[in-house]
């Protein structure tokens, strides 16, 4: 049984607790918070929800370094604000723990390279908690995109938005000191999904954006990909909820309007639109809990001869995504086109 410890008790923690409960071979053993009462409340709730034959004991910790020092913990999931991802991921790796860190992996490409190197030096796995690649629908769609069925990929459009976040009050996404803003929060999804689904890289880009309260409120990017295709990335806290992607080739296009997570888990669908109005709908992975599959993938990586550090593919996507996000910010602030390879 793989023993998990959580750093942080934010909103996302609830879903990840459920994911550990659902995953094969996983158990939640500890939750850490700077507020012991909060950690105790989460641990008590978990114990209440435990099944009759569940033998795990969830311990509350009032310090993050204490849970990292506990030999009873194998993997840690870091659910802290983005500004704390780098220091606590680094600390966890040095403490001999495998790490699943919430996205974004950190704040910039320099930090991401440091974490990849620490993963390699300490021979500990480092995963980022971007869950959509683990859903069977995503892998089926990726196979279609890269099979040539769409023809040569010419356009990629990704739109991720959630309105009203900046009016919620206390939220790390509204605080620049905590790594807030839509660029790291939603731009992450726009960029990494493009790289992951297409296998293409970004070579240059031009971006515009606006800030509110010191954080990026909306960002628009036109990017040239390595095969000459054009990607449009649309992220913002100023529009209704959208989580859609379209990849258009010379022969057909693939469209999914909820690629981050199926809105209806019983009907995870996407569409292929071909020539002359012909189209089809595919449903793949009914009832799948993608975060549980992500947990299982993490655990599997520690039982196989799986690469760690910058040689690991999922980590390379994260490093490249951070490099591109850095370039987007530079383009907005300078008002110029940025060559990504020269950044």
Q: Are residues 33 and 87 in the same domain?
A: yes
What confidence score (pLDDT) does residue 42 get?
75
* More confident position, 56 or 25: 25
Q: What are phi and psi of 244, to 5 degrees?
A: -110, 155
At 264-323, the pLDDT tens digits run 999 999 999 998 888 999 999 999 999 999 999 999 999 876 777 767 899 999 999 999
In a domain, 299, yes or no: no
Q: Are residues 147 and 246 in the same domain?
A: yes
Of 114, 131, 148, which one is at a domain's C-terminal end? 131
What confidence score (pLDDT) does residue 53 get?
54
pLDDT for residue 51 is more than 90: no
In a domain, 197, yes or no: yes
What confidence score (pLDDT) does residue 177 get?
93
pTM: 0.94
User: In angstroms, what is the C-alpha Rg of the chain?
Assistant: 20
What confidence score (pLDDT) does residue 55 get?
53
Q: Are residues 260 and 137 in the same domain?
A: yes
Q: Are residues 127 and 148 in the same domain?
A: no
Q: Are residues 233 and 172 in the same domain?
A: yes
- 206: part of which helix (H) or strand (E)? strand 202-212
At 224-256, the pLDDT tens digits run 999 999 999 999 999 999 999 999 999 999 999
Question: Do 338 and 217 touch, CB atoms closer than 8 A?
Answer: no
14-18, 299-303, 305-309, 327-331: which has the minimum mean pLDDT? 305-309
| Angle, vertex CA 245, rays to CA 244 and CA 248, nearest 5 | 150
Of 131, 152, 178, which one is at a domain's C-terminal end? 131
Strands (E), 213-336: 215-225, 230-236, 242-249, 253-256, 269-273, 279-283
Question: What mean pLDDT is reported for the chain?
Answer: 93
How buried is residue 151: exposed, middle or buried, by Cβ count under 10 Å (0-12/13-18/19+)?
middle
Number of domains present in the structure of the chain: 2
Domain region containing 119? 2-131
Q: What are phi and psi of 225, to 5 degrees?
A: -95, 170
3-class DSSP state of 298? helix
């Amino acid at each position: 049984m793989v023993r998990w410890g959580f750093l942080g008790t934010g909103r996302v923690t609830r879903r990840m607790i459920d994911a550990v409960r659902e995953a094969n071979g996983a158990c939640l053993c500890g939750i850490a918070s700077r507020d012991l009462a909060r950690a105790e409340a989460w641990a008590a709730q978990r114990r209440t929800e435990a099944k009759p034959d569940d033998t795990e004991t969830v311990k509350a910790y009032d310090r993050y370094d204490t849970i990292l020092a506990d030999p009873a913990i194998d993997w840690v999931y870091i659910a802290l604000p983005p500004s704390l991802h780098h220091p606590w991921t680094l600390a966890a790796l040095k403490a001999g723990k495998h790490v699943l860190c919430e996205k974004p992996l950190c704040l910039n490409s320099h930090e991401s390279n440091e974490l990849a190197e620490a993963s390699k030096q300490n021979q500990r796995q480092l995963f980022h908690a971007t869950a959509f690649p683990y859903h069977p629908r995503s892998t089926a769609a990726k196979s279609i995109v890269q099979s040539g069925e769409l023809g040569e990929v010419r356009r990629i459009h990704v739109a991720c938005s959630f309105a009203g976040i900046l009016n919620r009050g206390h939220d790390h996404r509204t605080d620049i000191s905590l790594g807030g803003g839509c660029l790291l929060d939603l731009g992450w999804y726009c960029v990494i999904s493009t790289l992951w689904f297409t296998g293409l890289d970004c070579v240059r880009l031009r971006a515009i954006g606006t800030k509110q309260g010191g954080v990026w409120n909306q960002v628009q990017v036109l990017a040239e990909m390595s095969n000459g295709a054009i990607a449009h990335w649309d992220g913002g806290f100023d529009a209704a909820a959208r989580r859609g992607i379209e990849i258009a080739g010379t022969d057909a296009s693939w469209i999914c309007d909820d690629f981050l997570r199926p809105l209806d888990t019983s009907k995870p669908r996407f569409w292929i639109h071909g020539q002359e109005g012909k189209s089809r709908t595919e449903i793949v992975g009914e009832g799948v809990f993608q975060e549980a599959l992500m947990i299982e993938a993490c655990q599997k990586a520690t039982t196989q001869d799986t690469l760690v550090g910058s040689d690991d593919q999922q980590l390379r996507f994260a490093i490249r995504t951070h490099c591109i996000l850095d370039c987007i910010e530079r383009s907005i602030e300078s008002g110029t086109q940025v060559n990504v390879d020269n950044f």
